[in-house]
Amino acid sequence: MKNIEKYKNAFIDALDIEEDDINEDLALGAVREWDSIGHMALISEMEDVFEVSIDSEWITEFNSYLSGIELLKRLGVDFINE
């Protein structure tokens, strides 16, 4: 499975949303499931799926679908060569 698919599935699993709800405009608070509790569930899911540790200072930077990809790239997750 490609990393972008794993990333989308992390949103589906952690937030219990449909794939149709996921797009590049998705942001914290845009859907009711992505509240503060959903945010922590999503962080945990991403750490498990990608085997990374997200520093607490970066958690606040992750506030949209696209910013999550950028964060994972900084942690060494490759989204380009898939």
Is 82 contained in some domain?
Answer: no
Is 62 contained in some domain?
Answer: yes
Give the mean pLDDT per block of 10 residues along the chain (82 residues): 95 96 95 96 97 92 96 94 66
Whole-Å CA distances, 62 to 8, 26, 46: 15, 12, 11
**pLDDT of 10:** 97
Is 81 contained in some domain?
Answer: no
pTM of the model: 0.91
Q: Name 27's bridge partners.
A: 64
Contact 74, 30 (CB under 8 A): no
Is 79 contained in some domain?
Answer: no
Is 28 contained in some domain?
Answer: yes
**pLDDT of 80:** 81
**pLDDT of 1:** 86
- Residue owning tokens 């942001």: 27
**pLDDT of 82:** 62
Is 11 contained in some domain?
Answer: yes
Instruction: Provide the total of helices (H) and of strands (E) in the chain, helices listed first.
Output: 4, 0
